[in-house]
Structure 1
Amino acid sequence: MRWLRYAAVVTAVLVLAAGGLGWAAYTKLQGNITRDTGTAAELARYEKERPTPLVHDAQNILLIGSDSRSGPGNRKYGRDPGTQRSDTTILLHLAADRQSATAVSLPRDLMVDIPGCRRPDGSRTRAQFAQFNWAFEFGGTACTIRTVEKLTDIRVDHHMVVDFAGFKGMVDAVDGVQVCLKEPMEDAAAKIRLPAGPQTLDGEQALGYVRARKSLGDGSDTDRMDRQQEFLAALVNKVRSNDVLLNPAKLYPVLDAATSSLTTDPGLASLRGLYELVRGMRTIPTERVQFLTVPRRSYTYDANRDELVEPAADALFSRLRKDEPVEVARAAGAADREDAADDPYGDDSEDTYEEGESGAVDGEDGGGSGDSGEPGDSGDDTDEKPDDPTHVPSPAPTFRGNTADRSSCK
């Protein structure tokens, strides 16, 4: 009986200790997240001009990678002039049935209409036509969201902003991410030097890999976005693996790194909010986690800037807005081109676009690049509601992109 009492006391102490550690961990992770109430307040001032959500339960989340050099460990990437721009911006669409996720990269050099925005000092900028990442410098996240909504007519439900340190921390927390290089990589600006072949990148190397521009491929921002998408696909696979999700010793550092440099809207600024988001995504098959770049090409008046390819871009935005499916395929291989041949939005005209120019597979533009009709042609002139079960969506167009089950090593 005495030993039983000892065992009971020890068990009680262990349970209390575990509970205390669990609460301490929860409190720390909860405190890591920065709540962005300023953006919410600014967006509220422009509620009347914002798009109306069309499909209940579908969500659109704007992911912004800040190039700010402020903060611990970030100054070595350059001088901090007191401003920041969005180095990477991705519009993540989660289908209402949570059976697919589509991440659309928006080029930072895309020429867009930026509305008048409030600067951090309280002054206002004028509405102007400029490159996309200036919106973040002009008026931060609120200005970027308003610009994206004006460009796409898609309501942004949530946003997340992460800096260099947060990205590196997540990669290190999963013990690195594997990529495959077809040729050696050396980029002084990105502070990276790697041999060809399979490489497991740590956080510092991964940051250089996704930021490098002129040392790989054709040196374009489109090529860099393709590389970012492939890396994110590999990161998603690593985080979703049982080795991470079922191992508290590995999962906690991932959560700590993910939350430490994360700024979100109030709706996601809690572990509960983030958990609800992740819970809805965990059942999505990796082949239905898609990455693509909005159809783009060099801007007519400046080859160093981008412009949308229409009506392909509008067709993409229309389908995301209505929660209708899109498909992605790589344009590099013959098999992918054959898969895209059945695309109902294909165009038989000579106005096709090379890879890296339009963002669509050669020979099809996801919405037609010639005289193929109105963008999407998916029932804009009817009274059917997109989430009406009687509504039959048109066949999914195919865009150039990648899925999370197809890494750079395959």
Structure 2
Amino acid sequence: MLTKRSFKDLPLEGKKVLVRVDYNVPLDKEGNVTDDSRIKASFPTLQFLLEKKAKVILIAHLGRPKGQINAKYSLKPVVEPLKKLLNVPVSFAENCVGPTATDAVGQLKPGEVLLLENLRFHSEEEKAKADFGKELAKLADFFVQDAFGAVHRAHASTTLIPQHLESGAGDLLQKELEFLTKVRSNPTRPFLAILGGAKVSDKIGVVESLLNTVDSLFIGGAMAYTFLKAKGIETGESRVEEESVEFCKSVLKRAQEKNISLLLPADHLIVQDIEKTEQAKLTDNENIPSAWKGVDTGPKTSALIQPIISQAKTIFWNGPAGIFEVETYSKGTMDIAQKVAQVAKAGHTVVVGGGDSVSAVKKAGVANDITFISTGGGASLEFLEGKELPGVVALPDAN
């Protein structure tokens, strides 16, 4: 396994500890956090530091403010949920560098937490400017990387701080690497991957990589229509990436050569207008008539994949089977969520890889049953592709 030095191996007692967390959380119009799972995911690391009476300084980003100060992307709304979670004083500084940050750190007492304002209010963060990394490092004695959702980006807070401070991987980062390494390098078989979502082009690398490890692969969501087109099946007005059709043909061919069971939807829920849910109807087979578009998989597809899911000992799922946010179009995705949860409850490994699939298991009410839910969609896919994650590479190896 890819082992990096654990933050628990550092002498953190009473020290100032800078922690890169992933608090890129959704907010409603009033600026309230609508999903605090990423905040909760940082709890084990923060709890350990607070027990050590460390002075905890948190840095994070939210949204894409493009190097400009923008109140819409302030991290201030995270303070209240963080206080509730940790049950200790949490203060907030309106800058992450400069006198504002330095003064706030100076007032921090052992066993307290300080959250600094959005790193991306400074363009130097995403440009990975050396001076900005040095400025951040000056705030503390040690650095803990715990933002798995950001380690695939080569930014100042992910790659430069470890050049100036003794560093270690936080609890969440270690867990992410442990479960994803198992999926990538040592899955208990049969190994099933379920891929969905909008675009084949976003997942070319991960499909290539999975063809070397999976026993079965189910492709749903809008991705499936490009694969069906590659097989010469009618896709109507469904979203098809013409530029990816040849790639899909090569995947189908290689899967056959490698004796991989590659499954595509056997039927669909279709509409002419996505807004008019009452007009939705099921197809008899995998063909979609002209002027209609697919929005979900149908019951024949659920029946097709059920035995494959039930027999799997390792499952990786990234991407929904349809437009599950709309109740009428959610059944295919909800069926998958329920079935993979049963596999996890039977003691097998089910890893849900970030993004919409996480929302799907929550909507299905089975999030607590899943073996591991990754906090980083992009990072988990890049890791499974075999890419090096810059924020992980920057950390020292375990002794």
- Normalising by structure 1, we get a TM-score of 0.21
- Normalising by structure 2, we get a TM-score of 0.21
- Richer in helix (by share): 2
- Richer in strand (by share): 1
